[in-house]
C-alpha cells in the first residue's frame, strides 16, 4: 500500500512545525508590529528554539527569525554547532540565514512561503541570491583583497591558543 503525502507521518510532522513557524510570524505581525517571519529549530522531533524577526525592535538587521532561533539554541548549548537540527521557516531563508545554517551544521530547512510569494511585498531576497552567483568583480558590492603582512599572524595566534586549550 502506498502512502500519499497526507498520510506520511514525516510529512505531517513537517507541516506541524511549519504551521508553528507561520503562527509565530503572524503573532509577530499582529501583536508586535514586526515583519512576517517566524522560525522553529527542531532536533530529534522536539522544538529546541523558536524565533521571530526582531528588526523592528532595535534596527539590528541580523534580527531574522532563523538567526534568532539559532542564536537562542547555541547560546543555551554554549557552543555554535547545530548538527542534526532542522529549521522550519515561514519564508524562504535569505542568504545570510542560509549561510549561518551551513556554518552551524543545520541538516535541513523547510519553508512555507517562496521567494515568489514574498516578491510583491518586498519580502524576497532573490535579487541577492542572483547577485551572489556573479563573479566578485561583477557584483554591485565592491570587494577587494588587500593583504597586510601581519594579517595571517592572527590565524596562527588563534590556532596556537586553541592548541593550548
165 counts as catalytic: no
Choose, from 23, 46, 50, 66, the residue flagged as catalytic: 66
Starting at the edge strand found earlier in the chain, the sheet holding 108-113 runs 46-52, 38-43, 85-91, 108-113
Residue 41 has pLDDT above 50, yes or no: yes
Q: How many domains does the chain fold into? A: 1
* Least confident window among 18-32, 105-119, 149-163: 149-163
Q: How confident is the model at residue 165 (pLDDT cuts 50, 70, 90)?
A: confident
d(CA 56, CA 36): 11
Q: What is the model's pLDDT at position 9?
A: 86
Examine residue 80 and state whether it is found in any structural domain, yes or no: yes
* 3-state class percentages of the chain: helix first, strand second, coil last, to nearest 5: 50, 15, 35
Determine, yes or no, domain membership for 131. Answer: yes
> Is 2 inside a domain boundary?
no
pLDDT higher than threshold 60 for residue 64:
yes
Q: Is the pLDDT of residue 2 over 50?
A: no
Q: Is residue 22 part of a domain?
A: yes
DSSP letters, 11-67, are: HHHHHHHHHHHHHHHHHIIIII---S-EEEEEETTEEEEEEE--HHHH--TT--HHH
Question: Is 1 among the domain residues?
Answer: no
| Choice among 6-15, 23-32, 94-103, 156-165 with the minimum mean pLDDT | 6-15
The whole-number average pLDDT for the span 7-23 is 93
Average pLDDT over residues 75-83: 96
Given a cut of 70, is residue 5 above it in pLDDT?
A: no
In a domain, 101, yes or no: yes
Which range marks the domain in which residue 77 is found? 9-163
Mean of per-residue pLDDT scores for the chain: 94
Grid coordinates of 27: 503573532
CATH number at residue 34: 3.40.140.10
155 in any annotated domain? yes
pLDDT(113) > 80 = yes
pLDDT of residue 1: 40
Amino acid at each position: 500500500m502506498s502512502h500519499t503525502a497526507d498520510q506520511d507521518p514525516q510529512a505531517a510532522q513537517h507541516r506541524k512545525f511549519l504551521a508553528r513557524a507561520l503562527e509565530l510570524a503572524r503573532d509577530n505581525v499582529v501583536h508586535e508590529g514586526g515583519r512576517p517571519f517566524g522560525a522553529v529549530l527542531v532536533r530529534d522531533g522536539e522544538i529546541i528554539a523558536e524565533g521571530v524577526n526582531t528588526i523592528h525592535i532595535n534596527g539590528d538587521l541580523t534580527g531574522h527569525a532563523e538567526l534568532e532561533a539559532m542564536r537562542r539554541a547555541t547560546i543555551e548549548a554554549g557552543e555554535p554547532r547545530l548538527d542534526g537540527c532542522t529549521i522550519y521557516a515561514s519564508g524562504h531563508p535569505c542568504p545570510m540565514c542560509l549561510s549561518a545554517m551551513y556554518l552551524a551544521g543545520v541538516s535541513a530547512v523547510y519553508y512555507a512561503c517562496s521567494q515568489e510569494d514574498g516578491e510583491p511585498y518586498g519580502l524576497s531576497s532573490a535579487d541577492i541570491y542572483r547577485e551572489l552567483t556573479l563573479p566578485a568583480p561583477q557584483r554591485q558590492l565592491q570587494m577587494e583583497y588587500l593583504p597586510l603582512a601581519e594579517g595571517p599572524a592572527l590565524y596562527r595566534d588563534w590556532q596556537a591558543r586553541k592548541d593550548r586549550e
